[in-house]
Structures are given as structure tokens and as C-alpha cells.
């Protein structure tokens, strides 16, 4: 099939590349000329395992093209995917400006029937707005062409997007057109060879499905962080609790790992958006508002432990660290809790492993609070160093090797659970660090083992 994908961000680039790799002719369009120039040279603007190789191969084979010429791309395509950004507005609701601009641009270039597919994460009712934008633009031009609008939300995990696209848990198609549904089934047929996981439903339900899925996953994370904080207060171990509830088939183990909060481009934005959708319809989403509050607070919990460890009351450090659950909304440091002169090493900056994405990353909140307390920060991340420089500039040191972070460090804080951090040389770490203190924000180490080795260890929800 002939396809164009409008927007070469994370979703658009992955979708366009995977469609091309399954034999379709794909044109990816973006208004950023420098970005398109780099893509045509095989330079990928994001880190996603396996993506660069696929882009280069399909570009060389002629199935994948990149251009700024939207009109030409639309004229050559039957299916037009809209995969532009929907950034949150000031009130947290999704901004549809770019989606509707893309819809109008499609209308201006149409010369016959088209299937217009919303791949961007959009509020319920957006398909109607897209249809109205296209119809309005066609009317202004004195043209009349048939078209269908389809909702096809993405469910890609950063760091595993290629596998997710090729072997999806499900593909959701929202449409009221039988013809569009059959065309979309044909497009996705190469990804459905073993089992048919394509679900056709009405457009509004498809639009809601994306938000509901991300809101549910965010809820599981915040719930486990709440339980972890309670575990510290009562002397339980969250890892044991996780095993105890995860074996229940009704619950499962996915997204039951406590930590320093969720981040990224999806969960924070989508939770805010669905709350604002409910507000506009006069409904108070109390659970999801609490999910947001818990996540904001959780980003400060590890900082609280660090401040209390280095407070003057050394005799009660551990007890205080267990008791204090910090409200991150109050960004002022408590009087007397200073980290001036302390060197804090950071392992992990991206919001999760296998990506360079730092949007809404817990590391941002944690590092800013540590800097506010007077600490000197030395940080390492396998992929997100360039993104970190954009955010922190010269306020922190960037180390190319994880062990360089530890030299003369008073403590190490683990924020992102990259595999290379899971089994380091602990003796080498002890030789490099000034104080043998680890704050493990992802519970990747065993507390008993760490203390036997000679580290003072703080985890999340573990005594």
C-alpha cells in the first residue's frame, strides 16, 4: 500500500519504518527540514534499539522516503497517518493544534478518496474535529471528495517499540466505515500471522482506549509506590509483597515495581488529559488525580532519604528515613538539611532504560532538589547525556563512564535501572567512593547483600 505519515517523532518514525519494512511504500513528512535531511542520511533523532538499522535498510531499498513536501506525499498515498505531537496545554488538556493543521493540509492536497488515520494520542471526539476540519477546507476550495477518518492509537513502549509494533498485544481500529476497516485490516495483516489481535470498534471507544490503558498502568505504578511507602513505616518488604500479590492471576506482575515515580512522554500527559476531559464533562476523576499527586510526591521520596542521612542527627538517620515521606509540592528544603560540600553520584537520567527520553523524568526533580540543597552532582547515563545537557547545562558534571561518577562521591543514587548498573564491581565501587552509601531508587540490589558487602543501603519500601 501507499502510505504517508505526517510527523517524524517517536510514533511516526517507528510506525512509518515498520510499515515500510513489511513491504509498503511509505513517505514520512515533517516540517523540520534539518531533521528530514538527517533522516535521509540515516541519522536517527531518537534512541530506539533496532530503529536505525531498519531506517537505513528500508531507505536503501526505496520503500521509505523522508520529505518536507506534504502535498506530494498525500497525492501519492491512500492512507494518511497523522502522528504529530499533542502537547499538554496550560490546564493539562491535549493541544490539538498540530493535528487539525495536518488534517487541513491533507484536505488541501486531496485529489480523491483518502483514509485519514489519527495515530496521535487524542481526546475523545477528535475524529469529529478532524472530519470537520477536512470538510471545511474542502468547502473553501470548492472541492468534494470522499474520505474516512480512523482512530488507530499506538501502544508502543519506548525501548521495545520495534517488537511492540511487529508483535502487538492488540491493534485497535476505530471507524464507522466497513471499507476503511477492511483496508486497515489488510495493512496490519502482516503483523497478525499467528493470531488475529486486531480489534475494530467505534471511533470514540478507540480514542478512549489509549487514555484508559495508560491511566491504568500509571495507576498501578502509583499504587505500588503508596504500598512501598507504607511498607517502610510498618517494617514490611515491598519486594515480598509484590511477589505475594503478583502471583494472583487477576493482578499479575506487570507494572508492580516501586520506584521514584513514572515519567516519559505518555503517562504524565495522558493522565492529565483524561482528568481534564472528565472535568469538561462535569466528572471528578478522583482516582487519577490521586495518581498524579502520588507520582509528584514519589519523585521527592529518595531526596528526603538523602537529606536525612546527611543531617546532623546521625544517630537517627535510618529511623527518620523510614518515617519521612516527602511532599514534593513543597520544594523548599527543611531548615538545617543541607548537602553543601557533598558529592552525589547519579546513575541513570532517562525516565526508563533503553531510551534517551528525559521528558518528565524523575531524575529532573531529584537532581534539581539536590542542587538546591547545595550538592555537587556527577551523573552518567548510557544514552541520555545529550538530553541532560539541554536541561542542566553546566550545573552538573557528565561522566562518560559509570565508575567515574563514584570517585570521591559521598553517595550514589540509582534513578534508572539500566542493565549495566545491575551487577557492577562492588569492591571497585567501594575503593572509589568516599562514603559507601547507596540510594537505590529502583530496588535493583538486595539490601542484605549490600550491607554484608559494606554499604549503607536505602531502597524503596524495604527495611
How would you list the strands of the sheet with 64-67, edge to edge?
64-67, 25-29, 2-6, 79-82, 114-118, 147-151, 171-174, 198-201
Cell of 25: 511504500
Query: What is residue 395's DSSP assignment?
Result: G
Distance CA 110, CA 98 (A): 18
Kindly give, in sequence order, each residue whose CB lies less than 8 Å from that of residue 342, ignoring residues fewer than 6 positions away.
Answer: 310, 374, 375, 376, 410, 411
Distance CA 156, CA 144 (A): 36
Whether the Cβ atoms of residue 396 and residue 378 lie closer than 8 Å to each other: yes
Nearest alpha carbon to residue 220 among 261, 249, 164:
261
Collapsing DSSP states into helix, strand and coil, what is residue 55?
helix
**Strand-pair category, 147-151 with 343-347:** unpaired
Distance CA 328, CA 326 (A): 6
Query: 219: how many CB neighbours lie within 10 A of its CB?
Result: 19
DSSP 3-state percent helix, strand, coil across the chain (nearest 5): 45, 15, 40
Distance CA 275, CA 288 (A): 7
Q: What values do phi and psi take at 65, rounded to 5?
A: -130, 155
Collapsing DSSP states into helix, strand and coil, what is residue 80?
strand
Concatenated DSSP letters of 82-104: E-----B-TTSPBP-HHHHHHHH
Task: Measure Cα distances from 428 to 397, 418, 438 in Å.
Answer: 21, 19, 14
Query: 352: how many CB neighbours lie within 10 A of its CB?
Result: 20
Active site residues: 266
Distance CA 454, CA 98 (A): 54
Residues pairing with 12 in the sheet: none
Task: Measure Cα distances from 374 to 16, 340, 379 in Å.
Answer: 46, 4, 16
Within its chain, how far is the Cα of 59 from the centroid?
27
Q: What values do phi and psi take at 352, rounded to 5?
A: -160, 165
Whether the Cβ atoms of residue 320 and residue 311 lie closer than 8 Å to each other: yes
Amino acid at each position: 500500500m501507499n502510505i504517508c505519515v505526517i510527523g517524524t517523532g517517536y510514533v511516526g518514525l517507528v510506525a512509518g519504518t515498520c510499515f515500510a519494512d513489511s513491504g509498503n511504500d511509505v513517505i514520512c513528512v515533517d516540517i523540520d527540514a534539518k531533521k528530514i535531511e538527517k533522516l535521509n542520511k540515516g541519522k536517527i533523532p531518537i534512541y530506539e534499539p533496532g530503529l536505525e538499522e531498519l531506517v537505513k535498510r528500508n531507505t536503501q531499498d526505496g520503500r521509505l522516503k523522508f520529505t518536507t513536501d506534504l502535498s506530494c506525499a498525500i497525492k501519492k498515498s491512500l492512507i494518511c497517518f497523522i502522528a504529530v505531537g499533542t502537547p499538554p496545554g496550560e490546564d493539562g488538556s491535549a493541544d490539538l493544534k498540530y493535528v487539525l493543521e495536518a488534517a487541513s493540509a491533507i484536505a488541501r492536497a486531496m485529489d480523491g478518496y483518502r483514509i485519514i488515520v489519527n495515530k496521535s494520542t487524542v481526546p475523545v471526539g477528535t475524529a469529529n474535529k478532524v472530519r470537520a476540519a477536512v470538510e471545511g477546507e474542502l468547502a473553501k476550495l470548492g472541492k468534494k471528495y470522499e474520505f474516512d477518518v480512523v482512530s488507530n492509537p499506538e501502544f508502543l513502549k519506548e525501548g521495545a517499540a520495534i517488537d511492540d509494533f511487529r508483535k502487538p498485544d492488540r491493534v485497535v481500529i476505530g471507524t464507522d466505515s466497513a471499507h476503511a476497516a477492511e483496508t486497515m485490516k489488510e495493512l496490519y495483516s502482516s503483523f497478525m500471522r499467528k493470531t488475529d489481535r486486531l480489534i475494530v470498534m467505534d471511533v470514540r471507544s478507540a480514542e478512549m482506549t489509549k487514555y484508559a490503558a495508560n491511566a491504568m498502568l500509571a495507576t498501578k505504578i502509583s499504587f505500588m509506590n503508596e504500598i512501598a511507602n507504607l511498607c517502610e513505616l510498618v517494617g514490611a518488604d515491598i519486594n515480598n509483597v509484590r511477589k505475594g500479590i503478583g502471583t494472583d492471576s487477576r493482578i499479575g506482575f506487570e507494572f508492580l515495581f516501586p520506584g521514584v515515580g513514572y515519567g516519559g512522554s505518555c503517562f504524565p500527559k495522558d493522565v492529565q488529559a483524561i482528568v481534564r476531559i472528565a472535568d469538561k464533562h462535569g466528572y471528578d476523576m478522583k482516582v487519577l488525580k490521586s495518581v498524579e499527586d502520588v507520582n509528584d510526591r514519589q519523585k521527592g521520596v529518595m531526596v528526603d532519604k538523602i537529606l536525612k542521612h546527611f543531617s546532623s542527627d546521625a544517630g537517627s538517620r535510618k529511623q527518620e528515613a523510614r518515617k519521612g515521606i516527602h511532599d514534593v509540592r513543597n520544594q523548599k528544603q527543611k531548615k538545617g538539611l543541607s548537602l553543601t560540600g557533598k558529592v552525589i553520584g547519579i546513575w541513570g537520567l532517562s525516565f526508563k532504560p533503553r531510551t534517551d527520553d528525559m521528558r518528565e523524568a524523575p531524575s529532573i526533580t531529584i537532581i534539581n532538589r539536590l542542587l538546591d540543597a547545595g550538592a555537587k552532582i556527577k551523573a552518567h547515563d548510557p544514552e541520555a547525556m545529550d538530553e541532560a545537557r539541554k536541561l542542566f547545562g553546566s550545573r552538573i558534571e557528565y561522566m562518560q563512564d559509570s565508575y567515574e561518577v563514584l570517585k570521591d562521591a559521598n553517595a550514589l543514587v540509582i534513578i534508572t535501572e539500566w542493565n549495566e548498573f545491575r551487577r557492577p564491581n562492588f569492591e571497585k565501587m567501594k575503593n572509589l567512593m568516599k562514603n559507601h552509601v547507596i540510594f537505590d531508587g529502583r530496588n535493583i540490589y538486595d539490601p542484605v547483600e549490600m550491607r554484608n558487602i559494606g554499604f549503607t543501603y536505602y531502597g524503596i519500601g524495604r527495611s
